[in-house]
Chains A and B, each alone.
Chain A
Amino acid sequence: MTLPQIFFAYFFVMILGLAVMVVTRRNLVHAVLWMLLMFVHIGGLYLFLNAEFFAIIQIIVYAGAILVMFLFVLLLLNVKQSLTASLFIRGWQGRAMAVVFLLLVFVISIKNLVIGPRGEYSIQRIEQQGHIKVIGEAMFNDYILPFMIIGLILFVPMIAAAVLAMRRHDGSS
């Protein structure tokens, strides 16, 4: 085995194992901490693929922001043990069918993959200029309209939070 293969095998085993740990923990705080470790490993995998921008984003956004939000929710709700609610869909047949269907869809789609025409962002160009610069160029030039709309999409839920959560003293909202 070459060195990259050893690296890849390590991340492969660790990510799967940590994911299993996340879903099997009874204590929710432990589950979140295992998830943190998993996110860091996924970041390492990105770095290993020479995608430094994604590695940083993975750490900042997932490990930094989203996980902290999870922890806040756990602290606010004060849940130590995972809740055991009755299953929404009883019987394993329905779930098995859904899984088989999804698997089928994946297999069909992967079998029919086509290599699309090469765009202007070739591997050579990305290696030459660096990830962050190329992503910035693409995002702020080619995809400026979707970028702006995403800004609005983030803005509307903020209004929503204010509208839905704020209550005045007289009982009206």
Chain B
Amino acid sequence: MIIVPPPFPNLTPFIPELIVLSVAMVLLLLEIWVKNRVFIAGICILTGFAVIYCLNMSIGITFNGMFINDIYSVLFKIIFMVCLILTVLISLNYIDREKPIRGEYYSLLLFATAGMMLMASAKDLMVLYLGLELMALSTYILAGIKTLNIKSNEAAIKYFMLGAFSSAFLLFGISMLYGLTATTDIYLIAERLKDTERSLPLILSMIMIVVAFSFKIAAAPFHMWSPDVYEGAPTSVTAFLSVGPKAAGFAVIGRVFYIAFEGIQPDWTTAFIIISVITMAIGNIVALAQTNIKRMLAYSSIAHAGYILIGIVTSTYESLQAVINYLMIYTFMNIGAFAIVILLDKGEEIQDYNGLSKHRPLVAAIMLLFMFSLVGIPPTAGFIAKFNLFVSAIHGGQIWLVVIAVIFSAVSAFYYLRVVMNMYMKDPLVEEHQIHLSPSLGFAIFITVVMVMVLGLFPSLII
């Protein structure tokens, strides 16, 4: 019997991932010889730009229909790249300060990014799951990379345990879906589910997948890991975790629920409405009681996941666009806020910010901008993001959900503005607020400030 070799898979749509993965591997080797961290970080940033440059040229489907690079995934990949570039910029100086962090840091960041890109581009549930695991495994290590710090260890082990738990849910849901349709291709599942009526196993598998993805985006009641992980992980990693995996989670939620579960849209909409309301409530109310700013930002990121879910629930073209915009703007303002936490020598507790404006007026003003943006006060970008999302939800008929969201966003003003109040109205507890300014960190803060201002004043640039 003559074996006809199948054609070599078309690699063009896979080029962005190939770039990231190969750079990640090369960096592992380079880190042995190149002691200059600036060089390695520079390569990471160049990779980010190279991927953004390649994205539009590499649209298509490949690997037997398992991998798709379309406009949807391109937009998410741009968010991941922005997240990667900003994280590398804020890490560069921070890593030298936190001595026990090893050089593998940058390649792990790249591996995590590659996992997120695979998730956004998965056309097959198997690729989706494997991308998720690649991202998750890399981020577990990143959370625990300060090996001698007990809190960092705790963060890693907690993240690992609950991540494994959520993976089990995801696999259970996928296997039931496979049992119903005999395929793992997301688009084929939609086709085969079209004629079948909704059945109990279908609802069960939908619920399992909802639970698994809610873990990834840290939506309540599956958010328990996030405050501990965000507090224990090195701050630069926290900035990465609060944006990248969350955006990747929303990317797969969009893909799986809009396409595979199109037939049972009322059911998953109900599930997400409940989760969204609980998430907004828990995120915003528990954040009021926090004294550590990383924990506060963790709860704030839980609350933001709740707002973004409103866009997912509305499920119109407009709301999906608003979700992507929101994630883009959230990337800038959240990483910006974490950059300020890194900038300060002692900036982990909220009372460390007391009287910051007296010693460091510029730093205080920038923090004020990010806090205003996170609340959603014009003319910052955060306002535009929320406004867009809520308008699209009202157009889609989710008026009650928007009312609840607006109420909780008013609650959120309390804890964001408490930081501002501490900075401007309280007397400093320390003689001098030490800062560690480096060119890369300054550049990252500059970019985020400019983006938050410009997108707030000229929203037409991205909408």
Chain A interface (Cβ < 8 Å from any Cβ of B): 105, 108-109, 112-117, 141-146, 149-150, 152-153, 156-157, 159-160, 162-164, 167, 171-173
Contact = CB atoms under 8 A, between A and B. Distances in A.
26 contacts: A105-B204, A112-B199, A112-B200, A114-B181, A114-B182, A115-B182, A116-B183, A145-B67, A149-B130, A149-B131, A149-B134, A152-B21, A152-B111, A153-B130, A153-B133, A153-B137, A156-B134, A156-B141, A159-B108, A162-B104, A163-B102, A163-B104, A164-B144, A164-B147, A167-B147, A172-B100
Contacts, number: 92
A161 to B, nearest CB: 9
Give the top 7 A-B pairs by smallest Cβ distance, nearest first.
A116-B182, A145-B63, A149-B130, A173-B147, A160-B141, A112-B201, A156-B137
Contacts of A112: 179-180, 199-201
Given A141-B6, A145-B67, A163-B145, A108 B201 contact: yes
Nearest to A150: B130
Interface in B29-68: 63-64, 66-67
Interface in B75-110: 99-100, 102, 104, 107-108
B259 interface: no
A115 B67 CA distance: 26
A74 B107 CA distance: 33
Contacts of B176: 109
B127 interface: yes
Contacts of A164: 141, 144, 147
Interface residues of B, number: 43
Nearest to B176: A109
A146 B126 contact: yes
SS of B interface (majority): helix
B208 to A, nearest CB: 9
Contacts of A115: 182
Nearest to B123: A145
Interface of B: 6, 9, 21, 28, 63-64, 66-67, 99-100, 102, 104, 107-108, 111, 114, 118, 124, 126-127, 130-131, 133-134, 137-138, 140-141, 144-145, 147-148, 172, 176, 179-183, 199-201, 204
B100 A144 contact: no
A149 B128 CA distance: 10
Contacts of A150: 130
Nearest to B67: A145
B279 to A, nearest CB: 24
A114 B112 CA distance: 37
Contacts of A156: 108, 111, 134, 137-138, 141
A113 B205 CA distance: 13
Contact of A172 (B99, B104, B131): B99
Given A112-B200, A160-B137, A146 B66 contact: yes
B215 to A, nearest CB: 18
Nearest to A161: B141
Contacts of B148: 171-173
Nearest to A141: B6
A119 to B, nearest CB: 8
Contacts of B183: 116
A14 B104 CA distance: 48
Most buried by B among A115, A143, A152, A171: A152
A57 B398 CA distance: 53
Nearest to B131: A149
A158 B124 CA distance: 27
Most buried by B among A109, A144, A157: A109
Nearest to A116: B182
A117 B183 CA distance: 9
A153 B180 contact: no
A108 B126 CA distance: 23
A132 to B, nearest CB: 14
A117 B195 CA distance: 14
Contact of A149 (B107, B127, B179): B127
Contacts of B9: 144-145
A93 to B, nearest CB: 21
Contacts of B180: 112, 114
